[in-house]
């Protein structure tokens, strides 16, 4: 599940259609929403790849994603 978050391909047509739908439901432009996704994904990827990162720190990163309301959206976007 979480592994998908760090491997999002925003340029795929099916992904773009899902992003457009979710962005519109949140009152955001696709550009604003994509930026939010890229920022959250980059934070997760950076944290997950640090060798010294503790399990607690990983949960903090995930909690930050939940706080900005993107994790559930990312799970929808990465559904196959």
User: What pLDDT digit, counting tens, does each position of 19-57 carry?
Assistant: 788 888 888 888 888 787 777 777 766 766 665 556 666
Q: What is the mean pLDDT of residues 9-17?
A: 71
| pLDDT, mean over the chain | 68
Global confidence as pTM = 0.46
| Domain extent at residue 10 | 2-77
Closest listed residue to residue 73, CA positions, set 56, 53, 28, 45: 28
- Total tally of structural domains belonging to the chain: 1
Dihedral of alpha carbons 9, 72, 23, 25, sign: positive
């Amino acid at each position: 599940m979480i592994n998908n978050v760090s491997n999002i391909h925003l340029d795929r047509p099916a992904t773009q259609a899902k992003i457009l739908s979710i962005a519109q439901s949140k009152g955001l432009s696709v550009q604003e929403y994509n930026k939010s996704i890229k920022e959250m994904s980059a934070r997760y990827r950076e944290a997950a790849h640090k060798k010294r990162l503790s399990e607690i720190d990983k949960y903090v990163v995930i909690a930050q994603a939940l706080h900005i309301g993107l994790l559930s959206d990312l799970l929808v976007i990465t559904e196959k």
